[in-house]
Amino acid sequence: MKEKNPWHTPATIIITVIGVIAIVALVTVAVLQNRPVLQKYKYGIVLDAGSSHTALYIYEWPAEKDNNTGRVEQKYSCKVKGKGISSYANTPEKAGESLNECMQESVKQVPKERHHETPLYLGATAGMRLLNLENSLASDKVFQAVEKALQGFPFSFQGARILSGQEEGAFGWVTVNYLDDRLKQGLETTGALDLGGASTQISFVSDNYDISESPSNSVTFRLYGNDYNLYTHSFLCYGKDQALLMALAHQTKSGPKTIVDPCFHPGYLEQKQYSVLYDSPCVSARKPQNPTTTFSHTGAGNFTQCQDVVKKVFNFTSCQYSRCSFNDVFQPPLQGTYGAFSAYYFVMDFLNLTDASTPLETVKQKLASYCATPWNQIVQQHPTIKVKYLSEYCFSGTYIVTLLTEGYNFTSESYANINFIKEIKGSDAGWTLGYMLNLTNMIPAEAPDLPPLPHAGYVSVVTITALLLFVLVILSLFCFCPGFKKQPHIV
């Protein structure tokens, strides 16, 4: 006699098969219905026409989610060869031509079917601000040439313009906090420090400060349901190239034939032209009366003396507000952490000083020893680095430390809150992303309604519930239907 398995009745087999089919069907429908839609992307292009060079960035985001949950990421970047567009004041057509190579590459990078709907923006910063101050006709011509060149590409060109200093500072802050996911999550924000060639920006949220004390330094945002009261200031002429010109102008007031500059390495010697040095609105007013045509620029390599020279480019004597940074500019108390990018990063990275755990005192000691290193030794140690950059790292490092401590009032303690960064999660830190997010209304004022569960959680809950229901049905059949009870079958 063989006991037959009581589950092997036609009824249980049919119920089991139907049950399994039902569960598979239920889970499949739920997963398909709620699966993220096949990823199609949209694109936006921003040209950052800086004082020293132009860079192109292509951003990409999932097509279905452009106004709430989708992340915008940098897909591609291209460094335009040559100098910034403001350097083409005398040959404006060349400013337009200079953009062709990167633009042609963008045509390949963005899928063809998206070309016509991809917005293209050009924002110019301090180089064009200075050219506009000096010669507005020349700056208009440069813009005309650039616009003509950009209109020749298949994208949706949205115009070329000069950003105000407030915009440049505020959009840099938006970029850093967007990439760090601080805005969407309503987390404490991080400040943004941007050091360009011709201007520098500081932007941060400081609680309990009175906006009305200096309304021009205040920008208010409502992003993802949170209000932000941002302090921002852009110092024209305080980018590292113009600051160097100002420091040299201080040392050549009397029009000497030779200067011994503590911000350059011992043994450094270069003949420089007065006409080139004073060819900028940041210094032109200080031009000596009867200078020789050239002067010998020699180095002494002394950090402390270099700091004294650098301090002379700041004016600390007057402040009409409750507190100031420098040049009679209001600045509320520093607060929180800061991301320092562009030249802050390039310079501190070269000097191996980007580690946030390096104390300010150590930074100064390392700079002092770097500045004191003879020029021929520096050149030998770094054969691949552009000589112009190489010769200026001592000045630039000293300028950065002086700007942060004497200018913005960072102390040994608060200096530890500065992170020197180039990019965040693969996207470069800078104003361009924030500018595009703003112009495409990609950051909503109110928090988007998100589904209560993430997709994976939703699928798990549906699967587990279906399984539980199935087990429950089988158990109840087993308990309450007599035909399902275990019975010996006599064969």
Ligand X SMILES: O=P(O)(O)OP(=O)(O)OP(=O)(O)OC[C@H]1O[C@@H](n2cnc3c(O)ncnc32)[C@H](O)[C@@H]1O
Binding site feature residues: 197-201
- How far apart, in whole angstroms, are the C-alpha atoms of residue 341 and residue 354? 11
Catalytic residue among 168, 188, 406, 446: 168
Query: What residue has token string 């040209």?
Result: 47
265 binds, among Ca ion, ligand X, none (CB under 5 to 8 A by kind): none
50 sits near Ca ion (criterion: CB under 5 A): yes
Element (H, E) at 437: helix 431-439
Q: Contact positions toward ligand X, by CB under 6 A? A: 50-53, 84, 125-127, 196-199, 239-241, 342-343, 346-347, 350, 389
373's CB contacts (< 8 A; 6+ apart) are 265, 301
The stretch among 45-53, 69-77, 406-414, 480-488 that binds Ca ion (CB under 5 A) is 45-53
**Total residues at the site for Ca ion (CB under 5 A)?**
2
Q: Closest approach of Cβ 50 to Ca ion, in Å? A: 4
| 223 vs 249 by CB, closer to ligand X | 249
In the three-class reduction of DSSP (H, G, I as helix; E, B as strand; rest coil), residue 81 is classed as coil
Cα dist from 330 to 318, 322, 404, 418, 481, whole Å: 11, 8, 15, 21, 83
Smallest distance, Å, CB 63 to ligand X? 31
Could you give the CA distance from residue 349 to residue 422 in angstroms, rounded to a whole number?
Answer: 9
What does each C-alpha distance from 351 to 32, 197, 368, 378, 430 come to in angstroms?
A: 53, 18, 11, 12, 21
Q: Which part of the chain contacts Ca ion (CB under 5 A), choosing from 48-56, 221-229, 344-352, 372-380? A: 48-56
Q: Which of 238, 257, 254, 236 is nearest to 246 (CA)?
A: 238
Residue 73 annotated to the active site:
no
What long-range pairs does 362-365 form, CB within 8 A, spacing at least 24? Answer: 363/401, 363/415, 364/303, 364/401
In angstroms, give the least distance from the CB of 327 to Ca ion: 20
How far is the C-alpha of 188 from the C-alpha of 177, rounded, in Å? 9
Q: Select 291 or 430, whichever has its Cβ closest to ligand X.
A: 430
Binding-site members for ATP are: 197-201
Q: Which does 7 bind (CB under 5 to 8 A by kind): Ca ion, ligand X, none?
A: none
By a kind-dependent CB cut-off of 5 to 8 A, residue 199 interacts, out of ligand X, Ca ion, none, with ligand X
Terminal CA-CA length for the chain:
7
CB of 290 to ligand X, least distance (A): 30
**Residue partners of 364: CB distance under 8 A and separation at least 6:** 303, 401
Residue 127 interface partner, choices ligand X, Ca ion, none, CB cut-off 5-8 Å depending on type: ligand X
Residue 123's binding partner among ligand X, Ca ion, none (Cβ under 5 to 8 angstroms by kind) is: none
Question: In whole angstroms, how close is the CB of 343 to ligand X at the nearest point?
Answer: 4
Tokens encoding 476: 């109840």
CB nearer to ligand X: give 342 or 414: 342
* 289 CB-side CA count, 13 A: 1
Name the nearest CA neighbour of 481 among 489, 471, 473.
Answer: 473
432 binds, among ligand X, Ca ion, none (CB under 5 to 8 A by kind): none
The dihedral over CA atoms of 148, 154, 158, 161, expressed in degrees to the nearest 10, equals: -40
Please report how close the Cβ of residue 430 comes to Ca ion at its closest, in angstroms. 6
Helix (H) or strand (E) holding 390: helix 387-402
Which residue, 52 or 335, is less far from ligand X as judged by CB?
52
* Footprint (CB under 5 A) of Ca ion, residues 168-207: 196
- In the complex with ligand X, the residue whose CB is nearer, 168 or 180, is 168
- Classify the C-alpha dihedral 47-391-348-313 as positive or negative: negative
434 binds Ca ion (CB under 5 A): no
Nearer to ligand X (CB atom), residue 199 or residue 232: 199
Residues in 76-95 at the binding interface with Ca ion, rule: CB under 5 A: none
Give residues in contact with Ca ion (CB under 5 A). Answer: 50, 196
Q: Which residues are catalytic?
A: 168
